[in-house]
Amino acid sequence: MVKAYQRYEAEKNFGVICSPSSNSVYSLDGKYAISPALQDVMVWDLKKGQLYERWSDFDNNSHVTCITRSPSEDSYAIGYSDGSIRLFDFENPSPSCIFNGHKGAITALTFDPTGTVLCSGSRDTDLVLWDIIAETGLYRLKGHKDQITGIIFVNDQQNAVSPEKSDSVVDVGSTMDSYTSQSTETKDAFTAGEKGFLITSSKDTLVKVWDLEYRHCVQTIVSHKSEVWSIAISPDHKTLITGSSESNLKVFKLNLQDSPDPSVPLPSSGTSLSENSYNNSATYSENLLENLVKKGNKEILVELGFISKQSKERVTMLQFHPAGILLGCQTNDRMVEFFTISTPEEIKKKSARKIKRIREKKSSEPSTIDDPSVFELSTQDLLNLEYLPRQVLRLVAKSRSFMFNPTESSLLIVNRQKNTKIMFALVNNSLSVASLPIISSLKTSDSDSKKLLEPQWIHSIERLGHRSEPRCISLSSDNELIATACSSNILVWNSITKACIRTLECSQPLTVVFLPGDQHLAVGTKSGTIELFDLAAAGPPIATYEAHEGGVYCIAVTPDKSGIVSGGGDKESKFWDFEMISAALANNDDTNTPSLQVGKTLSLVHTRTLKLPDVVLSVVVSPNLKFVAYSLLDTTIKVFFYDSLKFSLSLYGHKLPALSIDISSDSTLLVSGSADKNVKIWGLDFGDCHKSIYAHKDAITSVKFVWDTHYFFSAGKDGAVTMWDADKFVKIQSLADGGFSGGDIWGLAVAKYGNFIAAVSQDRSIRIWNKTEEPLFLEEERENELEKFHEQSMVADANKNISGFEESEVAPDSNVLVHSTRGDQENEENDDAVAQVSGVKVTLENMKAGEKIIEAIKVVELELQKRDAYDEALAKSQTNSMYPRPTIPPPNVLLKAMNISVAEVRRPVDAAS
């Protein structure tokens, strides 16, 4: 009889507040933060500090790389590492639309002012414009040679929003309504993506301006000497700021006053350059070329000067305040610098004051009195007066992104609340909101005014995640609590609700275990101490013991629950017994400060020490208390008798040290996972190696047996979690086949009877797999894995076969706009052109959908053939009595299940013919 196993299924990961792979944004009303969480998107209530919603797609395994919000409604575009884009509505956790048009990760996303067109930039250097209403791609722009870093839509200046002209109070929750309403005069949903300009930046050091009407690059800025990492445009669409790896920010003026020749006929709404009608119109092509030449000679961006910043690191993000009063500059360190933007009146007053000082200084020089140019300020001087350094925030960690509150789009709102709110997404897995006071005048010598500039941190979401990579994990005896340890603290989680119930401060923990009763934790630290924590007190450690001279790398609780065994970097293993002592006697070895607890408290008593030949990496005690096994740095595994500590066995065969070992519940098997990527199964009776399995593609970090079975789990740095049968030496199931959220797995914990397993990863997440009642058969599982492998290979081969794309260009010997297909000629000069969106990327969903369509067509064709044969036989029987009357053919099972009649099948076919 074929053996059946039980399948494990993954739950949603937790422990991640905001992953550093993408930026975070405000919601439209400024009450929620939308942040990336590996493959999902989290919606956090900033005031309550709680998770409001989780957006996810069951079929997605790629990480979020970019998030942007639509200006017209509360909808969001999410870019992923596989090049896909998903659209989410705020109240709907499932995607409303999926776009696939890039081969690389999405690095930039921007909606146009109407919210009907989305422009995406990727690592594949392409720009794609998408029609949100029609849910299709419009066209592709090619010209950059490296990753796209910034995208900005630009309309005519007369229709842009100017904060100085805005006198009405904008209601909270309608941030960009004024912007959208003023832009609809020249841009609506029917002409979206057809007018205006697009400004893009890239790591190729170039900033390009694209004419959306003619879909061509009309200007390229080549003044940057290094990669351009971010661009920002002022709310009035008059100024563009670029940030690169240079020490200054470049300032450009937008020159959009000249309009195209009105005599040139424009294409109708929704018309594409790829349509044959353009090829047949020589007149239109001539006018088009003439306007392209005119616009190519016009400078849309005019460089004015630069803004000096304090940090010498490269710029990672630039953003203007919605009301145009501040400019934020984020650099690749812990600094975020803010500049105050002066109004035209303030600039006029300051320039007049400066000219007056120049006149007074130059009045003593007769040769300069008659020269009027001496008393004029340069463009750079005016920039220095307009952008004044305000303050520099030094955060606790690097900032991944920051964003001003979108509800502060009016100066009246900002002046009324006298502060501005800024949300920071930090790389240490936390979100914070700061309130910066708005001070109209500030004297640099006034210390009191400087204190007023200090931000107030009003909201913070950090308790629900790890500040650094969690290195170890432990389960309580009742499987209700999970303890994880990172570099600075211990977090205790409820395994059912996934809520963090305790946060314990601890410096550099290396291992953590629950002690009997599940009320205490024993933590081994890098400094060589063992610290005991009381979960009920939720305070500092109740006792600290100097256990080892090196780090405490492993702690194991004895099966009889009488004590623990520790192993450290000093090549020793120490045995400790539990003892309940008076709380007044339990003190800290470092401070000798008596505990304030009343009654008895748990303590450790050192009983025995075992000298070992090398550093102890892992220790385990057999359930029958017969053996204690150690994994050493010299690649061997030493087994000793527990009672006498006499040497029993030496297990050797690994080429690199075994990072984790475990013993089965019947004390007959020992499994070891090594850095050499192999799992070895040993017998404890003679010390023979039953089997050596190449289990992972990278170092194995943890192995755990399931109680009362010979099944065990292994986890490694390749991101895979695998279940094995130690009797048959076969793989049962791959729980996370290299796709564990994208990081090394550092720890694994298994519930006593295998009801679930939990793992912690380099990406700071905790993931749980639950055992289900669904049976699992090995042959069937291998077939599914093989089929999945073939499907992935088919998709990869199909994408490799896409060798060229269509783009519009002008033939050298003709004035007619024609099509040409070319391959990946990245170094051609005429590379700033438009191309089609379709046919660039093949996905598994597309292939499956195509197969379903072909299958449906075959079913319909077979049904029609049967119906035609029946009609022919029926006609013959009616005209000739010699032919018997045919029986009506039974309908297809699929059509019958879908309640589709033959007449309904025939009707569209006849109409098409």
Could you report the per-residue pLDDT of 407-438, keeping only the tens digit for each? 988 888 888 888 899 999 999 999 999 998 88
Say what the pLDDT of residue 585 is.
Answer: 53
Residue 392 near residue 334 (C-beta atoms within 8 A): no
- Amino acid making up residue 461: I
Say what the pLDDT of residue 298 is.
Answer: 67
| Pair of tokens at residue 775 | 């049976």
Q: What is the mean pLDDT of the chain?
A: 83
CA pair distance 775, 645, nearest whole angstrom: 44
The side-by-side arrangement of strands in the sheet containing 745-750 is 5-10, 766-776, 756-761, 745-750
| Polymer length of the chain | 913
Say whether 612-763 and 18-142 share the same fold. yes
What CATH number matches the domain at 612-763, 3.40.50.2300, 2.130.10.10, 2.40.30.30, 1.10.1060.10?
Answer: 2.130.10.10
Residue 841 near residue 799 (C-beta atoms within 8 A): yes
Q: For residue 168, which phi and psi values (nearest 5 degrees)?
A: -90, 150
Angle at the Cα of 822 from the Cα atoms of 821 and 823, rounded to 5 degrees: 135
State which fold the 18-142 domain adopts: Methylamine Dehydrogenase; Chain H (2.130.10)
CA pair distance 687, 795, nearest whole angstrom: 47
| Exposed e or buried b per residue across 120-142, where buried means at least 16 C-beta atoms within 10 angstroms of its C-beta | bbbbbbbbbbbbbeeeebbbbbb
How many Cα atoms sit within 13 Å of 800 on the Cβ side? 6
DSSP string, 709-742: SSEEEEEETTS-EEEEETTTTEEEEEEESS-STT
CA pair distance 648, 610, nearest whole angstrom: 14
Domain boundaries defined on the chain: 18-142, 313-461, 467-611, 612-763, 788-835, 844-912
Tell me the torsion sign for CA atoms 793, 795, 798, 800.
negative
Measured CA to CA in angstroms, residue 518 lies from 466, 542, 913 at distances of: 22, 15, 75
State which fold the 467-611 domain adopts: Methylamine Dehydrogenase; Chain H (2.130.10)
Regions of the chain where pLDDT drops below 50 = 157-190, 259-281, 284, 441-445, 588-597, 738-740, 803-831
